[in-house]
Amino acid sequence: MIEVSIPSLEKEVDESGKSRKLFRVEVLFNERKHYVLRRSSEFQSLHRKLKKIIQTPDFPSKRNPHLRTKPMEQRRQELEVYVQEVIYQNEDVPQILLDFLHLKHFHTGNRHSSFESLDELDSQDDNYQYLNQPVLRFFKDPYLSTCLPGLPDIVAEGVLQGFYPRDVRVSFTASALATPDHSSLHFTDVCGSAMWRKASAAVLLALAVGYFYSDRPEQVLQYIGLPVFRVAPGDGLEHAISAAWEALITLPSRQWSKVAVGVNACVDVVVSGVGLLQALAVDPGAGRDHEVLHSKEDLKEAFIHFMERGAAAERFFSNEEVFQRIARAAAEYPGAKLYVGGNAALIGQKLATYPELTVLLCGPVGPKLHELLDEQIHVPPESLQEMDEFHLILEYKAGERWGSSQAPQANRFIFSHDVSNGGMSSLETFVASLEEFQPELVVLSGLHMMEGQGRELWDGRLKQAVVALADIPKDIPIHLELASMTDKDFMNSIMQEQVMPIVSSIGLNEQELLFLSQAGGGPHAALPAWRGIPEVGQVSDILLWILERHGRVEPSSESELTRIHFHTLAYHVLATVDGYWENQAGAVMAGARVASSQACGLQAVDPSKVVLKAPLEFYSSHSEPRERLSLDPTEPVALWRRGNVTFHFTPVLVCKHPLRTVGLGDAISAEGLVYSELKIQQTF
């Protein structure tokens, strides 16, 4: 007989590097089992074809009315029921469905087997092949056998000799980054442990798998349970750091299962900045920053100002008519591309790449954005609107010239006339949805969009936002993602009176960090701007000041802030108050790894396409007393403490030829949060 189930989802990466989720359809026919992977759209196509020839069951809707149920999990269950109903409601199973299931030996007119045994089936079709073969047989129970004391070393050495040539250096490093001395364990120490003696049967099985899959040594050794990386002679620091990341980055023991994200979302129109301005008949000239853009001339000056610094920035364009003309020109510009935009939506997209994580997104979601969003993201009906909000992303490459201006590094300038996001219109919907959704983590972004509305509007709206956020239960941590701002009063309102005291974590880049210090009179506030790579000691000083002044460094403090994830082009720093967060070494490395891979448009870091720009030696502070620190590329996290604040530093392998810079900060923060664990004994 035939049985069909859809037990799980799998992720597939296509040639362009884009990942998508596929349903695993398992088919049991005549005691033989196989599976096929199908996209959601393929089920819809199947339904349309079946409707033409049979009476079909109702096809499941993509909309998930139940916030407590994972959207993709609910759809998996409904599609499974749909296929099963088609089979059992039709005496003659449609050939269209058989083709969909890759069944070529099914006799229509009878859903049950016409063969009495597998032998009879084999005699009818000698070409039918089993999809699995035995790898290893045990003739007596290995768990009851006496284990020879030397066996683990023999097995391990045999695996190494079989996998690696003699001129390759293999290093096994214990993940000991939680302790200051970064002590490492040699491979022989691991092999000699009691755990290995008790698990010799598992090692033998891994050895057998390694024999059959000798072209995949890393996967086999990870199966055995050892972190592994390989660095061949002559490989540079980029190879060492990349390999160490893969060996040392591990998910925390407790992971988030539900994350709510809000509240800015839009469609990004990405174009060449210089190319678009030339198409608008704008001539190059001197750069100048503008808090709000009113004309094409303001746009040109602000773009040049930040391009010359290689810095990211975002501004509000006040004139709707002029903005619409520019937006039309951008959409028609050759090579223009549409992407998911807005910090909240981008963070949600990144989180949705983890199949076990359910994401709620609240923001102004129009038809195009809804189409672009991952299917695993749930959008409440109240967040859907008829029109999309568009943001224009003007990108430039490292070394690109326009007139006398040259970009020192690749980056982008963002501007929009976005009223919905500017007023954070979805905030109340966001907070109201949390009671039913029951998230374990809340991610908030979009505050910077209010700045362009003028003080009278943002002052009142910010107070309303704080009142709304105060309704979020204290035991749910809130991460705030900051973005480019220019109004010091607005930043001070966020820091001192309003939002900063009620969030547990913040994410920001070098521009936002320095502006925050300038607005609040913090360390190094006299610096007009960073020149080149920010000095680690200065960054450390500002991070410590934020946590001491606005965080919960003192147990008696009423503030909730205990974590800051800082990122710049060359390196990242995670600063946390002791006693609140776990796995921060893994989190900071994971953020740096995704920055390296995503900028190059890859799923994994390619050492040949990246370059190390971070310093390998630096100071923990700009002034005395301070500690001189060195980075070991084979354990690429430097750790230091100042009072009861711990800092984790890791370099970024900078993409030589970045394909897209938009959303990197959001991906970094999202990845860092996925790999972070909140200590269970603390209450927020």
Question: Do residue 605 and residue 559 come from a single domain?
Answer: yes
DSSP H or E stretch at residue 549: helix 536-550
Q: DSSP label at 403?
A: T
Q: Is residue 141 part of a domain?
A: no
d(CA 475, CA 373) in angstroms, rounded, equals 29
For 61, which DSSP code? P
Our count of domains for the chain comes to 3
- Pair 228, 89 in one domain: no
User: Does residue 176 surpass a pLDDT of 50?
Assistant: no
> Is residue 64, in this structure, part of any structural domain at all?
yes
The three-point CA angle 486-491-495 to 5° equals 160
The answer to whether the CB of 500 falls within 8 A of the CB of 508 is: no
Is the pLDDT score of 15 beyond 60? no
Whether 438 and 568 map to the same domain: the answer is yes
Q: Is residue 144 part of a domain?
A: no
Sign of CA dihedral 368, 372, 373, 375: positive
pLDDT confidence of 206, banded at 50, 70, 90? low
CA–centroid distance for 366 within its chain:
23
Residue 155, pLDDT above cutoff 60: no
Reduced to 3 states (helix: H, G, I; strand: E, B; else coil), residue 648 is strand
Mean confidence (pLDDT) of the chain: 81
Burial of 236 (0-12, 13-18, 19+ CB in 10 A): middle
Q: How do residues 513-558 score in pLDDT, each as one tens digit?
A: 999 999 999 999 999 999 889 999 999 999 999 999 999 999 888 8
The letter for the amino acid at 423 is: G
State pLDDT tens for residues 80-107.
999 988 988 888 889 899 989 988 655 5
Sign of the dihedral defined by the CA atoms of residues 588, 594, 600, 604, in that order: positive
Does residue 106 sit within a domain? yes
Q: Given this model, what pLDDT does residue 157 score?
A: 57
Residues pairing with 610 in the sheet: 655
7-21, 492-506, 631-645: the lowest-pLDDT one: 7-21
- From 554, 553, 555, 573, select the one nearest 564 (Cα to Cα): 573
Are the CB atoms for 336 and 326 separated by under 8 Å?
Answer: no
In a 10 Å sphere around its CB, with 0-12 CB exposed, 13-18 middle and 19+ buried, how is residue 103 labelled?
Answer: middle
* pLDDT value at residue 33: 84
In a domain, 317, yes or no: no
**Which of 234, 250, 276 lies at the terminal end of a domain, its last residue?**
234
Are 35 and 24 in contact, with CB atoms under 8 Å apart? yes
CA dist 58 and 69 (Å) reads 20
Within-domain flag for 295: no
Between CA 408 and CA 388 the distance in angstroms is 34
Q: What's residue 448's pLDDT?
A: 83
User: Which of residues 126 and 106 earns the better pLDDT score?
Assistant: 106
At which of 109, 124, 139 does a domain end?
124
Are 468 and 561 in the same domain? yes
Mean pLDDT, residues 434-452: 88
- Closest Cα to residue 40, out of 323, 309, 263, 371? 371
393 domain residue, yes or no: no
Work out the burial of residue 471: count CB atoms within 10 Å of its CB; fewer than 13 is exposed, 13-18 middle, 19 or more buried.
exposed
State the CB neighbour count (10 A cutoff) for residue 143.
Answer: 12
How far CA 86 is from CA of 4, 57, 92, 124, 475, in Å, comes to 11, 7, 10, 28, 46
Residue 129 forms part of a structural domain: no
Do 672 and 586 fall into the same domain? yes
Contact 362, 338 (CB under 8 A): no
Q: Tell me, what's the pLDDT at 14?
A: 59
Share of the chain above pLDDT 90, in %: 47
Q: What would the mean pLDDT of 9-22 be, rounded to a whole number?
A: 71
Query: pLDDT tier at 676 (50, 70, 90 boundaries)?
Result: very high
Catalytic residue among 374, 388, 487, 666: 666
Strands, sheet with 292-293, edge to edge from the N-terminal-most edge strand = 292-293, 313-317, 411-416, 390-396, 266-272, 337-341
Q: Which of 105, 124, 143 is the last residue in one of the domains?
A: 124
Mean pLDDT over 430-447 rounds to 91
Of the pLDDT bands very low, low, confident and very high (cuts 50, 70, 90), residue 489 is confident
User: For residue 45, what are the contacts with CB-CB under 8 A and spacing of at least 6?
Assistant: none
Q: Could you tell me the pLDDT band of residue 508, with boundaries at 50, 70 and 90?
A: very high
Range scoring the smallest mean pLDDT among 182-196, 265-279, 426-440: 182-196
- Containing 565, the helix (H) or strand (E) segment is strand 563-567
pLDDT tens digit string along 26-50? 998 877 788 899 988 889 889 988 9
Q: What is the pLDDT of residue 161?
A: 55
CATH code of the domain containing 71 = 3.30.1520.10
Phi then psi for residue 338, to 5 deg, are -105, 130
Q: What is the mean pLDDT of residues 369-395?
A: 90
* 541 counts as catalytic: no
pLDDT of residue 181: 42
Say yes or no: 662 and 558 in one domain: yes
Q: pLDDT tens digits for 281-323?
A: 999 999 999 989 999 999 999 999 999 999 989 898 999 899 9
Work out the average pLDDT over 647-662. Answer: 92
Model pLDDT for residues 216-257, shown as the tens digit of each residue? 554 544 444 444 444 454 568 999 999 999 999 999 999 999
Q: Which long-range contacts (CB under 8 A, 24 or more apart) does 463-466 make?
A: 463/498, 464/427, 465/424, 465/427, 465/498, 465/499, 466/498, 466/499, 466/502
**Does 218 lie in the same domain as 93?**
no
On whether both 221 and 368 belong to a single domain, the answer is no
Q: Report the DSSP pairing between strands 478-481 and 645-651.
A: unpaired
Same domain, 555 and 444: yes
Q: How far apart are CA 544 and CA 232, in angstroms?
A: 39
Q: What value does the mean pLDDT take over residues 259-266?
A: 92
C-beta of residue 9 within 8 angstroms of C-beta of residue 72: yes
**pLDDT by residue (tens digit) across 556-599?**
888 899 999 999 999 999 999 999 999 999 999 999 999 999 99
The amino acid occupying position 498 is Q
- pTM above 0.75? no
In a shared domain, residues 525 and 455:
yes
Amino acid 656: pLDDT: 94
Own/partner contacts of 174-180, CB < 8 Å, gap of 24 or more, are 174/227, 175/227, 175/248, 175/250, 175/585, 175/586, 177/248, 177/585, 177/586, 177/635, 177/637, 177/639, 177/648, 178/585, 180/639, 180/641
Q: What is the pLDDT of residues 453-477, one digit of tens each?
A: 677 777 777 788 888 888 888 889 9
Query: Is the peptide bond preceding residue 553 cis, with omega within 30 degrees of 0?
Result: no
Peptide bond before 408: cis, by omega within 30 degrees of 0? no
357-367 mean pLDDT: 92
Note the pLDDT of residue 640: 98
Q: What does the pLDDT read at residue 109? A: 44
Same domain assignment for residues 96 and 169: no
Host domain of residue 451: 258-265+341-387+418-678
Q: Are residues 21 and 70 in the same domain?
A: yes
Confidence of residue 400 (pLDDT cuts 50, 70, 90): very high
